[in-house]
Chain A
Amino acid sequence: MILDAKIPEGPLAEKWSKHKFNLKLVNPANKRKYTVIVVGTGLAGSSAAASLAELGYNVKAFCFQDSPRRAHSIAAQGGINAAKNYRNDGDSVYRLFYDTIKGGDYRAREANVYRLAEVSVDIIDQCVAQGVPFAREYGGLLDNRSFGGAQVSRTFYARGQTGQQLLLGAYSALNRQIHEGKVKMYNRHEMLDVVVADGKAQGIVTRDLIDGTIETHAAHAVLLCTGGYGNVFYLSTNAMGCNVTAAWKAHKRGAYFANPCFTQIHPTCIPVTGDHQSKLTLMSESLRNDGRVWAPKTPEMAERLRKGEIKVADIKEEDRDYFLERKYPSFGNLVPRDVASRNAKEAVDEGKGVGSSGKAVFLDFADAIKRLGEDTVREKYGNLFDMYYQITDENPYKQPMRIYPAVHYTMGGLWVDYNLQTTVQGLYCLGEANFSDHGANRLGASALMQGLADGYFVIPYTVGDYLATIGPKPIDDKHPAFAEAKKSVEEKIAKLLSLKGTKTVDDYHRELGIIMWEYCGMARNEAGLTKAKGLIRELREDFWKNVIVLGKNEEFNQSLEKAIRVADFLELGELMVDDALQRRESCGGHFREESQTEEGEAKRDDENFAFAAAWEYKGYGEQEELHKEELVFENVKLTQRSYK
C-alpha cells in the first residue's frame, strides 16, 4: 500500500482554504441520517463531538472515566499557543508554523503544521466565547506568557490549569449537545475493538465498566480521540487510566502506527521517591520562564549535598552550574523539552545529581522572587508551588525545587492523512492519539492547540467529505464483522480471567516500564534496543501464562480493566523498540547514542531518515512491516537545530 498523505496542491498558505472548498458537503437535511462515533472526551474528542452535533450529525461519544470532564487533557497546566500577535513582538502564523516544524526537528508534515498554526487563532476566540477564564491584564484584554522553543510570547493561559479550563469549555459545548439530544454520551465505557466491514470502519465494540456488558455500536465513521501511550513506561505524567488500547486495536484492524518511538520526556517533573511510586507529577514548563535550572559544579559537592553534609544555601553562586544558560545563551532555560531533559540526564550521569536518589537537578526561583516579589510569583505559579509542596513537603519559595525528566507525551500515534483519516477508511484519529503535527518533539503549549484544532476546526470539514461520499444509507449491524469483533473481545477477556497465575498486572506493567525506560528512554542504542526486544517478548509470553486477574467480567472489575490495557502495552512496547532500532539517527526526543555531534547534541540524518515511519500489523508476534512517508520540505530549510 502506498501511503498517500493527500496534501493539497498549491502554496502552503492557501492549501487549507482551497482544500475546504474542494471537500464535499453533506446537505443540512441529510446530516441527521448519519451517526458518528467519537471515542475519548478530552480536548479533541469533546470538541469534535460537540462540533459535529452542532452541524446536525448524530453523535455517540464514549469515555472510560465516570464523566467526560475527567479526560486527561484536564491536567495540562501551562497554556495554549496561538499566533495572535497580541504582544506586537513579531509573531505570525508563519512563525508559529516555523517554530513548530523546527521544534519537531523536521519530522512533521509541513501542510499539517501550517494548518495548525492557521486555525490556532480561531481556537482562542472560540474558547473565550464559551466563557473560558483566561488570564487577563488590567485593561481587560488577554494576557500571554512565553514558552520553550519560541522567542515570542504567544501562550494563553489560565493560571496553572489551562487544560482544565479549556476542557470544561469543550465539555460545556458537549453538554449542550447532550441536552439537545444530538449526542448520546456513554460514561464508564471502554472501547475494545473497531469493527471493520467491507474495508470501512463501521462501528466499535465496548465494555460497560460497571456491569461488564459487551456490545457493538454501528456508525458511518469512527473518530479515535484517545490520547497518548506514555503509560507504556509505567511511570509517566499520564493519568492512571491512560492507555493505548483503542489505538492499538485500530492498528490491529489495519490502521498503520507511525513513529511510535517518538516519545517526549518532559524535563521538569517531581523526582521518583521509591518503588511504590504509581505516577509522576509534572511541574509546568512555564516555570522555566522564571526558574533557573542548575546543578552543583562538581560531583564531590553534589555528593556532600546528597549526604546532608551541606545544605543548598551553603553552595556559593560560583559553585552552581546553570548549565542551560551556559550552553544555550540565546534560549537559556527556555530551550525545547528534549534538549532540557537530555542536559539534566547528563548532569546526573556525571554525578552532579541532587536529592536522596541523586536523580534530580534544581529549578530555582530565588532570583525571580528577588526580582518580582513573592506575591507576583505566587500569582503566576501559586498552584504549582502548592502542588510541589504537597508531594515533597518542601517549600519552593524557600528552597529550590528538585526536578527530573519523566515521560509526558507521545508524538507518535496512528498514521493519518491530511484529512486525519487513518489507513482504514472511515476511521479517523485526532489529538495526541495521531502522529501528525509535532514531528519528533512537541513544543510546550502545543498539545492543547492541536487537540482543539483537530476537533473544532479540522474534522467537521474533513469527515463531511467522507460521509458525503459513502452516502446516508444506514449501517448494517448484522454484518458478520460485528459479531466477529464482539466474539474476539469476549474470548480475550475469558482468556485473561482463566489464567489464575502468580504475578499481578502491576508487576508486569512495572517490569515493562523498567525495560522501556532503560533501553528506549532518553538515550537509545543498537545493543540496548535489541536486548529490550527480547526482554519484552519474554515478558509478554510470561504475562499470558502467569498473570492474576481476579473476579469475573460481569461486574465492576478494575483488575480486568488494567489487564486488558497492559496486554496491549506489552505489544506496543516491542513496536516502539523496532521503530527506535530502524531510526539510526537522533532527532527530537529520539536520541540514538550512535548519532550525535561532537558537542553531544542530537544529530539528524536527513538524507536517510526524513520520513515518517508507518508500521503495518502482520499478526500476533510477527515482525511488522515498515512503510515510509517521505517528508517533503518546500518551505523550510532543514538545518541542524541550534538554540545556542
Chain B
Amino acid sequence: MSKHMNLTIKVWRQKNVQDKGGFKTYKADNIADDMSFLEMLDVVNEGLTKKGEDPIHFDHDCREGICGMCSLYINGRPHGPKTAITTCQLHMRSFNDGETITIEPWRSGAFPVIKDLAVDRTAFDRIQQAGGYVSVNTGGIPDANEIPVPKPIADEAFNSATCIGCGACVAACKNGSAMLFVSAKISQMALLPQGQQERYQRAQAMVNQMDTEGFGSCTNTGACEVECPKEISLTNIARMNREYFTAKFFKEEEMH
C-alpha cells in the first residue's frame, strides 16, 4: 500500500516574460508516495483551479522520460534529487512527509521564462538548424548495409545520440553553457561514417550559433554531466573542442 504525506511547495510564479515574478507557497496535502512529481503538481493544480486561482504552468508531455519537454529546478537541482532521470520520472517516494520543496524554472539567460515554470528553449532548435544533420535528400540512397559501422563506434555514437534536448545541462551550469547539448550532436555525427563529409563545417556552424544565442562558456566544472538525465558524458565536450579547433585551423578548405 502506498504511504501519504503532506508537503509545502514554494513555486516560482511569473505571468509572462515581462513580469518580474516571485515565489508563492502552497500546501500539497495527502500526496501518495507512488505519485510522480508532476502528478503531485496536477493535484495542486486541480485544487487551485477549483478555488479559481490560476494553475501553475509547467511544460510536460510524454511523462516517460523521453520527449525532453519537462524541466523544473527542484530543491536547487535540475530534474530533482535523483540522477539519470527526468522530472516526470521522479516519484514522491524521494521526499519526506512535512518537507518543503522549492520549484523553479530552468535558470538561464538563453531560456527566457514564458510563464511560471515553462521556458523558451527554441535556441536549441536554432543550433540544430545550423548544422545538426547529414545533408541527404529523401530517396536514392544505397542499401543500409553498404555503410558498415564498427559496433563500438556505433555504440559510442548512440550514447551521444540519447540526448533528449531538455536543457538540464544549461540550467545546471553556473555559466549557462550549452556545450554538453551541442557536443552530443557533433560527437554523434563525427563518430559515424555518415557524418564525415560535413564534419568540420557542422562543428563550426553549430558552435557559432551556440555563441550567437548567448550561452556561456565551459569551465569544466562537470555539473552538466552530473545532472544530465541521459548521462551524456563530458568526453563529448572534449571531442567537440577537437572538432571545432581542427575546423578552425586546419580545414578551412572544407568550409562553405
Contact = CB atoms under 8 A, between A and B. Distances in A.
Interaction A to B: yes
B44 to A, nearest CB: 11
Nearest to A136: B154
B145 interface: yes
Interface string B236-247: 000000000000
B141 A126 contact: yes
Nearest to A379: B155
A504 interface: yes
B14 to A, nearest CB: 10
A620 interface: no
B91 A393 contact: yes
Interface string B52-85: 1111010111111111110000000000000011
Interface in B93-144: 93, 114-115, 118, 120-122, 124-125, 128-139, 141-144
Contact of B122 (A75, A187, A502): A187
* Most chain A CB inside 10 Å of its own CB: which residue of B91, B133, B137, B158: B133
A276 B32 contact: yes
Interface stretch (B5-13, B33-41, B169-177, B210-218): B33-41
B1 A356 contact: yes
Interface in A150-179: 158-159, 161, 163-165, 168, 171-173, 175-176, 178-179
A60 B149 CA distance: 36
B229 to A, nearest CB: 11
A69 B143 CA distance: 26
A504 B46 contact: yes
* Most chain A CB inside 10 Å of its own CB: which residue of B67, B91, B134: B67
Nearest to A549: B49
A128 B158 contact: no
Contact of B133 (A69, A75, A122, A130): A130
Given A72-B61, A277-B39, A278-B63, A129 B55 contact: no
A349 interface: no
Given A67-B124, A67-B125, A131-B134, A140 B148 contact: yes
A273 interface: yes
B153 to A, nearest CB: 9
Contact of B63 (A124, A175, A239, A273): A239
Contact of B141 (A125, A133, A142, A173): A125
Contacts of B65: 387, 390
A559 interface: yes
A550 interface: yes
Contacts of B67: 65, 70, 72, 74-75, 239
A50 interface: yes
A281 B67 CA distance: 13
B151 A137 contact: yes
Contacts of B93: 393
A59 interface: no
Contacts of B132: 172, 175
Nearest to B164: A164
Interface stretch (B188-196, B220-228, B248-256): B188-196
Interface in A510-528: none
Given A67-B121, A130-B133, A278 B165 contact: no
B34 A126 contact: no
Contact of B161 (A65, A139, A168, A278): A168
Interface residues of A, number: 82
Contacts of B157: 131, 133
Contacts of B15: 555
A70 B69 contact: yes
A129 B63 contact: no
A215 interface: no
B60 A240 contact: yes
A300 B143 CA distance: 56
Contact of B138 (A74, A124, A460): A460
A609 interface: no
Nearest to B116: A556
A559 B56 CA distance: 10
A507 B42 CA distance: 12
A84 interface: yes
A196 to B, nearest CB: 29
A456 B136 CA distance: 12
A474 interface: no
A67 B163 CA distance: 14
Contacts of B89: 387, 390-391
A553 interface: no
Contact of A139 (B64, B84, B131, B148): B148
A16 to B, nearest CB: 14
B49 A175 contact: no
Contacts of B69: 65-66, 70
B147 A164 contact: no
Interface in A40-77: 47, 50-51, 54, 65-70, 72, 74-75
A556 B46 contact: no
Given A69-B68, A172-B128, A130 B134 contact: yes
Contacts of B219: none
Given A140-B150, A393-B91, A556 B34 contact: no
Given A129-B134, A131-B134, A558-B55, A273 B34 contact: yes
Contacts of A480: none
Contacts of B63: 239-240, 278-279, 281
Contact of B151 (A50, A136, A274): A136
A551 interface: yes
B133 A173 contact: yes
Contacts of B54: 550-551
A470 interface: no
Q: Give the 7 A-B CB pairs with smallest separation, nearest first.
A: A140-B148, A172-B133, A128-B144, A133-B158, A125-B141, A51-B138, A556-B115
14 contacts: A65-B69, A66-B59, A74-B68, A129-B134, A130-B133, A131-B134, A133-B154, A136-B148, A136-B149, A140-B151, A239-B63, A274-B35, A391-B91, A457-B139
Given A131-B194, A140-B154, 4 more contacts: A51-B137, A66-B118, A130-B136, A460-B138
